[in-house]
Chains A and B, each alone.
Chain A
Amino acid sequence: MIDVDIEQQLGAFRLAVKFAAEAPIVGLFGRSGSGKTSVINAIAGITTPSRGHIRVNDVALFDAAQGINLPPEQRRIGYVFQDALLFPHMDVHANLTYGQRLRPARERVIDEERVVDLMGLRTLLRRRPDTLSGGEKQRVAIGRALLAQPRILLMDEPLAALDVPRKTEILDYIERLRDELAIPIVYVSHSVPEIIRLADSVVLVSDGHCLAYGDVDDVMGRLDLKPATGRYEAGSLIETRVVAHHLDDDLTTLAFDGGELFVPHVNGLIGERVRARIRARDVALATQRPEGISILNVLAGRVTAINEEAGPIAEVQLAIGAATLTARITRRSVQQLEIRVGSDVFALVKAVSFDQRSVGYA
């Protein structure tokens, strides 16, 4: 779907990125200043790399060797900017149709009415951008990009400027979009929860280079990538299925290969796939199955790796069934409990450590 291999000098910053990804939503993840935005600017044709190629759905947008460099208006890349960038002198409807009007009628596959409904814009059409809330602006920006009939949608931290309720709102809209229109999305973010919730595969960018790409679980779970994914964010992803809702105490049971998880109520039908993220610091370990404790989730597993650095902390990676779970405990505990690679242990995870942003639809 998207094949990028580019080099570019941007002042003192050197961008050299190579990846190919095929997924409904590709996450482009990295810290601020890692070069994520430079990558999608090159894809959109806003900047020109010095070497390499960019292909989207097998169409060459840029190829230095063949002298191909389409201008932005011919690339058909829908770019959703961090701060929406609506045209202030046009109302919502004029903004939405700006790109659509520049496309010949036979190329208009994505229908205006459909986008208006999908993005919930029906009541906003006559409004001016400066009267819209941040979330509304971002919905208009997404609709505007869609109606330009793009081959692919690039989203550059579309939630960064929004407060938490608005973030959740836009995430819902993006998920609807992915499910209803078959349009590939490259989603740029430095937020692990967003990447985890949305992306199917992830490209990890650090210091102008692509460190890793692959399935979200694989890349985000790798201990060796911690310096780039961030210590605070350490955690693991588990693909699960909704098996039961407990209406009396508002919990949901999720099942996965290695057992079951109790989490606060999840908005999903029985059988639906959801992705649960467990932060490493929310996981405790025990060598025997504990009795008489409040922790609902006790999972049996085996230690596959221990990552000890100088300092008080050790990260212990466990195999629980086919799933991987990382626990962050003290080095003292590792020694006292004599935990080694191969040890059988129990992972303890409090149900309340899951929140809205750590459980999302897969």
Chain B
Amino acid sequence: MFGLTPEEIGILALSLRVAVVSVVFSLPLAIVVAYVLARRSFPGKTLVDAIVHLPLVLPPVVVGFVLLVLLGKKGPIGSVLDEWFGIVFAFRWTGAALAAALMGFPLMVRAIRLSIEAIDQRLETAARTLGGSRQWVFASITLPLALPGIITGTLLSFARGLGEFGATITFVSNIPGETQTLPLAIYTFTQVPGGDAQALRLSLIAVLLSVVALMASEWLTRRAKRMHTDDRR
């Protein structure tokens, strides 16, 4: 397919799977967190805000290390998850997805929060007076109006997940076929003599992937925005 070797297709597929799964699972939580940060005030809000933003400012290796300590097979959380639910993150592709989700989370929350803050709150009030419960108003007014921000946040987090390196390699190592995503594979090729050509091919794939993702998001955002304005004008 497109002149790619089975090995390259495997790397690409794994990278996409990791990024997609990370986004799918973090999006609902990100929307809730963004809404709470945008619309509620409670004691400790600054702290929550800081914790959400932590992965953005910490060295990714530190995030990976913390994950390893907490969620490793012997870690306080990891051992419980393994014993009770049989869920293992360490050295699995799911661990890579978790690392990607964590690193992309602040970007996602930020974009969604900004778009929720931009919504005139009185629109929600108006919907309440018309008989909408808090939940229904959120689903019928807030979410659709925040859609451009949700799309942007999703793409940012997705791109961050595709490029995630430090936290991934620290947490789940660099196992071909299991945790070796695109950036890890590129890194590996640059470490072996004569691997430069392979590294270049994979880098081009990465560039192409990013461009496609960007274009898709642009198109989606434009569609979402058109919902707010009349195209039959």
Contacts and interface: CB of A to CB of B under 8 A. Distances in A.
A99 B131 contact: yes
A81 interface: yes
A76 B131 contact: yes
Interface residues of A, number: 29
B223 to A, nearest CB: 12
B115 to A, nearest CB: 13
A72 B128 contact: yes
Interface stretch (B118-126, B169-177, B179-187): B118-126
Contacts of A128: 228-230
Contacts of A257: none
Contact of B122 (A81, A103, A126): A81
Contacts of B40: none
Chain A residues touching B, majority SS: loop
B127 A87 contact: yes
B119 to A, nearest CB: 9
Contacts of A120: none
A203 interface: no
Interface residues on B, range: 20 to 34
B129 A46 contact: yes
A130 B229 contact: yes
B143 to A, nearest CB: 10
Interface string B136-171: 100011001100000000000000000000000000
B129 A87 contact: no
A18 B127 CA distance: 28
B126 A81 contact: yes
Given A73-B133, A85-B122, A87-B123, A130 B228 contact: yes
B221 to A, nearest CB: 14
Contacts of B125: 46, 72
27 contacts: A71-B133, A72-B125, A72-B128, A73-B130, A73-B131, A73-B132, A73-B133, A76-B131, A79-B129, A81-B126, A85-B120, A85-B122, A85-B123, A85-B126, A87-B123, A87-B126, A88-B145, A88-B228, A98-B127, A98-B130, A98-B132, A99-B130, A102-B130, A128-B230, A130-B229, A131-B233, A148-B131
